Amino acid sequence: MVGRHPREVSRVGWETTQNKALGIQTHKMSNQSVPYDLVPFDSLFELLTRGKEKSKQLGGEVLVSITSPLAGKIGPIQFFKAGRQTDTSANYWALPTKGSWIVGIGEAAKIITEGRLRFKQTATLLQAICRSAIIEGNGGLGPIFLGGFRFSSDTPWDATWKEFRDGLLTLPKWMISCTPNDRRSLTINLVLNGASDIVSLRKQLVAQSQILFNQDSTTAHSTSSPSARVESAADGWEENVRRVLVAIRDRKLSKVTLARALRLRAETAVSPEAVLESLTANYPECRIFAFCRGGTSFVGASPEELVSVDGTVVTSTCLAGSAPRGDSQATDTEFSSWLLSNEKERREHKVVVDWISERMSPLCTNLHWNDAPYVLRLGNVQHLATRFEGNRLNESHVLDFVEALHPTPAVGGMPLAPALEMIQKLENFDRGWYTGPVGWVDGNGNGEFAIAIRCALLRGREAVLYAGDGIVAGSDPKTEDHETTMKFKPLLTALGAL
């Protein structure tokens, strides 16, 4: 069922796209042979026939998915770039320090959900797709859905985020992945019905593979970083902080995580690949992501794991409380010591720890976390951090944890309802997916989601950067201004504005 714009109608749906035009330019590829050593075409075509027959028997659509080892050392950013030559839908997810990544190109299916029940609806629709699937292959992750969710489905929507929805997860047609042990895999996903034209699908897949695995396109370096400049920055930030502090003083709430947006314009069209390269080089301990829809890309480097589910193990890491990095080891250690001993920062951090522990407990057993926060050092900032780990209950789905945890006080505030009301009142922009959950999920309820921070929305020559900070009693407007400036730095650097 095809979903419409979230403000036009309240409905959910998943739609298949395997029979739509792939947008491949028809041209002769001289001396270019079909990469049979990389793509398991023979097994795939047999699987397509089986899938079509099963769809006839069931009277509905059937997902077919095949995974095989990926030979060679195709780089994730290079494959991502090659994929964007063939399709406007592309997804990128990587944790460089662990050597793991997922790159998805095209859409076999997508799940669109709207409103406050978007997490439950997404899990239900995803399980329905996978229930009748034919999944074969050797190792790998199997069929994976990638995407994200808006920070709030209740806040006003604007056209800046027109390519993104309250909830949008995409099952890529082509996906390559790598696990921490450097095991690389290729997964191909298609959704078939009784009328699917297998011959046409064969031709489309062969043509697209010639572009995706063309040595020139997968080894070429991406374009250089753009040279961007700030176009608008006046947003009344310090005045907004003061208004929050008045509300805190009047005991209307205890914390509001206030955000701001920064608009940049580059001399030429901004390449998401160049941004990904910069973020990977400078922030390898973060989850590097890109979600491309139409001509818009949402990219970032999030240091904050919302939740990960791997088999029975569930983990979450909360970050709250910030300090700058020092320009020497001595000053760096001095900032760390200040962060660990500062009463305001520790109080802000404890609010988030209490929130996460309370909401994870009903969904898992053996939940434990470090008694005192530790300092997580990133390239340009350091945070107080607490890591949680437990065992999920049998029926717990990664999206159950996402729904229970989002939004944490780290990105919303406390109490939540009045904090969200103040955010909507003071912020003069739509957060969209900023501070929302982004990541991936499989058919077994495993997955990984981060909070979308340290990020930007790219469209043509324009970029919108987002950053925020938690305002509590004792916050100082000028200090909070400095902290958001620090948080803009990863994307400002990647965009050549620093």
Catalytic annotation, residues: 255, 304
At residue 444, φ and ψ (nearest 5 deg) are -105, 10
Query: Which tokens go with 200?
Result: 């046409």
Write down the residue that tokens 């944890």 correspond to. Answer: 401
Contact 388, 315 (CB under 8 A): yes
**Closest C-alpha among 437, 452, 453, 449 to residue 488:** 453
Give, as one character, the DSSP assignment of residue 284. Answer: T
Euclidean distance between CA atoms 465 and 456, whole angstroms = 4
Q: Reduce the DSSP state of residue 22 to 3 states and report it.
A: coil
The rounded distance, in Å, linking the Cα atoms of 347 and 190 is 50
Largest CA distance in the chain: 74
Return the DSSP state at 87: -
**CA–CA distance, 158 with 247 (Å, rounded to integer):** 27
Q: Which two tokens stand for residue 185?
A: 């895999």
The DSSP 8-state label assigned to residue 195 in this structure reads T
Q: Which two tokens stand for residue 367?
A: 């939940």
**Are 335 and 429 a contacting pair, CB within 8 Å?**
no
Distance CA 330, CA 336 (A): 10
The beta-carbon contacts of 27-36 under 8 Å, at least 24 apart in sequence, are 29/210, 29/214, 32/210, 32/214, 34/206, 34/209, 34/210, 35/209, 35/210, 35/213
Q: Which residue, 402, 494, 420, 486, is CA-closest to 456?
A: 494
Enter the DSSP assignment of 478.
H
Which residue type does 450 have?
A
Let me know the angle formed at the C-alpha of 495 by 493 and 498, rounded to the nearest 5 degrees. Answer: 40
Count H helices, E strands: the chain? 12, 24
| CA atoms of 232 and 73, how far apart (whole Å) | 42
d(CA 409, CA 359): 12
Q: What angle do CA 389, 370, 119 make, to 5 degrees?
A: 35
Nearest-5° angle of CA 188, CA 275, CA 223?
85
- Cα 407–chain centre separation: 15
Picking from 498, 479, 433, the residue whose alpha carbon sits closest to that of residue 149 is 433
